[in-house]
Each structure stands twice: as structure tokens, then as C-alpha cells.
Copies of this chain bind each other. A is one copy, B any other.
Amino acid sequence: MKFTINRAVFTAKLNDVLRAISSKTTIPILTGLKIAVSDQDVTLTGSDADITIETVLPSSEESTNLTIEQAGAIVLPARFFSEIVKKLPDKLVTIEVSDGFQAQITSGSAAFTINGQDANNYPHLPEIETKDGVSLAGDVLKEIIGQTVLAVSTQESRPILTGIHLVLADNQLFAVATDSHRLAQRKITLPQAVQERYDVIIPGKSLTELSRMITDSQATVELRIAENQVLFVLGNTMFYSRLLEGNYPETSRLIPETEDTTIELNAAGFLAAIERASLLSHESRNNVVKLSVTAADNTAKITGNSPDVGNVEEAITTTSLSGADLEISFNPDYMKDALRSFGQSEIRLSFTSALRPFTLVPTQDAENFIQLITPVRTY
């Protein structure tokens, strides 16, 4: 095996593959990076058994400056290898395995020899039938992930809730996540109807990593779903994730159908106020902030209190306020996550009572995006 490649291009691709590689793995060879060289291209593979990322650097792409002298394959210690490549002096790097499982890495006047492992011992990739992919705009997919993954559970007690429930049917994509204290739900209309109905649960962690790989240059991402795997194709890079097994709870009945108190406000302004109030609630044992709405004088305020440290009160600027008076307490960290998902938008908060979940939706698009938060009982 021997090839020479543009170091900056190689480093960028290495960084992508490294996302899948964990130093805490029970399968030692997975701390390694697999490099496979054919006559036409170099393929890098990293995996933590849940996520597998494979990327191809073709010699036909001019920017790679790739010259292949001999095909072959090796597994090299991933973190260490990438640290070396990043710090090398020259524009190009040459990687050669002449004999056994030792790789020579040369660039300018620097020459490293590092011990690798037999690529034949590296696990095989999941196989996914390539027919029937769904094409999504990169920025839309990234937005959907960002808006829902915040509500994914981080607790392993109910593994199914650590995923995002994704349903593709006709020309609709539906994504929902809940940790049972809050819920985030997003719908979009697909440019084209899908052939088949898909109903899968993708680990939140996988989607977070995927989302970091979707850059502005990634116009479209193709989604392919198999029995127990999902594959996202980003140009020359394949991102595989296992699916969670089991039935996702029915979430539609959680969203209240009536509302007794409604306020409309700017998400960013309200977020700043909640951030201030949470400084204080974080000092308190129960970490709650209270929202009080008084219809008669058209005011809303938030209050927080920590017996040891002090208290806070802030009048909230609303653009609209209607319905019954209300006092409701909630975890400000859930509120912050939800508000951040709306960016600078105007949003509507709808409440039924102090002990029932309430919703946040964009005023302009109430149908397709909902954040729901369960209040905290404080008495």
C-alpha cells in the first residue's frame, strides 16, 4: 500500500471519520481507523459499532492531489494518526505500508513509523440496499435535527426515548422526540412522495453527530433505510447508524387541543429573561421559574427564588396576551432549550392550566413545529 495525498484535504476527511471513533470501546480494533486503497481511491472508515462513517477520496478529484502507487489496507491508531497528520510540515503526505503492519508516514523532512493492525480483522460494514432513497436538503435536515434532538432523553432507563422517532409517509416527514418531561415535534412536506412508508427510531447521538457533518456546502443528503440501519449519504461520505428497536410511544395525544391562556412574544427576548432568572433558580434545590399572567392589566412576569441567595422578578414584553389569569412553574433549562430552537422568531405560548403541559409554536407556522413542556408542581 502506498499513496500520496493533499494533507489539508486528507485531514478534513479524517476529521469526519473520527466522529465515529471512540477511545472508549469494548472492541479494541474500533479505536483504529481503517485505510483501504484501491487503484482509484482511498477509503477511510471509522466506527463505534453504533455509528459507522466511511468516506472516499477519489484520485479523479483534482483537489485531493492523490497519487496511488500500490493498493492495500491497514488499520492505524485513529487519534494518534490524525494528530500526526495534522502536525506534518508539508502540503503533501505519503503513507506507505511496505511490509507487515507498520506504516511509514512522510511529509517534508519528517518521517514517522507507526504500528498498525491487519485490516482483515476490521468489522464489516452494514449492508444497505441502495434502492429507494429519500433526498433531503442539507440545511432542512440539520434544522429538523436541531429542533427535535433537544427533547431526546439522556437516560438509559427507557432506551427508546434516546432516539428521534422519524416517520416518512406520502410526501410528509414527521420527527418527534420526548424525554417524558418535554416534547419536540416537527413536520415538513417533502418535495416528492416516498414510495414506501418508513417508521424508524434513530439514536439522538447519531443525529447530533450527523448534524455536525452537514456543512453549508452540503446541498442534499440522501436517506436510505433498511431493517436495522439507516444510511445518510453526504457526497462521498456515508454515515451509517443503527436503529433503536421497539415501539415509540404514541405522542400525538400529549399535545393539548384547547388553550385557556395565550401569550405571544419574541423568542430571543424571552430567552434572555429566562437565562437571567435561571441564574437564580440554579442556586435553588428545585430549579423552577414561575410565570404569572394577569389578563386584567395585560401583564406577564417571571419570578425566581432561592432562599439562600435571593430572588428575581422581571416583567415580560408580550405582543399579545389573552385568556385566563395563570401562575405556572417550569424548569427554566427546558424552557431555554425550547426557546433556542425558535431563534429570533415570534412565538405563541398556549396554556390550559398550571399542571397541564403547555406548548410553544412559531406564530407564523403553528402547524409544523411544536415544543411542549410539562410544568413543575410547586405546592
Q: Which residues of A contact B (CB under 8 A)?
A: 77, 80, 83-84, 87-89, 102, 109-115, 272-273, 275-276, 279-280, 283, 308-317
B279, A84: Cβ atoms closer than 8 Å: yes
B308, A115: Cβ atoms closer than 8 Å: yes
Give the chain B neighbours of A314 by CB distance below 8 A.
109-111
B309, A88: Cβ atoms closer than 8 Å: no
Whole-angstrom CA separation of A275 from B112 in the bound complex: 13
A310, B87: Cβ atoms closer than 8 Å: no
Whole-angstrom CA separation of A89 from B276 in the bound complex: 9
Known A-B contacts A112-B280, A314-B111; A272 and B89 likewise in contact (beta carbons under 8 Å): yes
B315, A109: Cβ atoms closer than 8 Å: yes
B279, A80: Cβ atoms closer than 8 Å: yes
Look across to chain B and name the residue whose beta carbon is closest to the beta carbon of A275. B87
- With beta carbons under 8 angstroms apart, the residue of B112, B309, B313, B315 that contacts A311 is B112
A312, B113: Cβ atoms closer than 8 Å: yes
A29 to chain B, nearest CB (A): 16
Known A-B contacts A84-B276, A88-B276, A279-B83; A111 and B310 likewise in contact (beta carbons under 8 Å): no
Whole-angstrom CA separation of A132 from B63 in the bound complex: 65
Give the chain B neighbours of A87 by CB distance below 8 A.
272, 275-276, 279
B317, A109: Cβ atoms closer than 8 Å: yes
Known A-B contacts A83-B279, A279-B80, A279-B83; A112 and B272 likewise in contact (beta carbons under 8 Å): no
B112, A310: Cβ atoms closer than 8 Å: yes
B110, A312: Cβ atoms closer than 8 Å: yes
Ordered by A's residue number, 9 sampled pairs between the chains whose C-beta atoms are within 8 Å are A80-B309, A84-B276, A87-B272, A87-B276, A89-B276, A109-B317, A110-B273, A114-B309, A115-B309
A340 to chain B, nearest CB (A): 15
A283, B84: Cβ atoms closer than 8 Å: no
Known A-B contacts: A80-B279, A84-B279, A113-B311. Give 10 more (CB < 8 A): A80-B283, A89-B273, A109-B315, A110-B273, A110-B313, A111-B312, A111-B313, A111-B314, A113-B310, A114-B309
B275, A312: Cβ atoms closer than 8 Å: no
Whole-angstrom CA separation of A94 from B318 in the bound complex: 24
Give the chain B neighbours of A109 by CB distance below 8 A.
273, 314-317
Give the chain B neighbours of A89 by CB distance below 8 A.
272-273, 276
Give the chain B neighbours of A309 by CB distance below 8 A.
77, 80, 114-115
A190 to chain B, nearest CB (A): 41
Give the chain B neighbours of A83 by CB distance below 8 A.
279
Whole-angstrom CA separation of A275 from B86 in the bound complex: 11
Whole-angstrom CA separation of A309 from B79 in the bound complex: 12
A206 to chain B, nearest CB (A): 30
Whole-angstrom CA separation of A77 from B315 in the bound complex: 25
Whole-angstrom CA separation of A272 from B89 in the bound complex: 8
Whole-angstrom CA separation of A84 from B276 in the bound complex: 7
A287 to chain B, nearest CB (A): 15
Whole-angstrom CA separation of A286 from B313 in the bound complex: 59
A358 to chain B, nearest CB (A): 22
Look across to chain B and name the residue whose beta carbon is closest to the beta carbon of A116. B310
Look across to chain B and name the residue whose beta carbon is closest to the beta carbon of A317. B109
Give the chain B neighbours of A114 by CB distance below 8 A.
309-310
A77 to chain B, nearest CB (A): 7
Look across to chain B and name the residue whose beta carbon is closest to the beta carbon of A84. B279
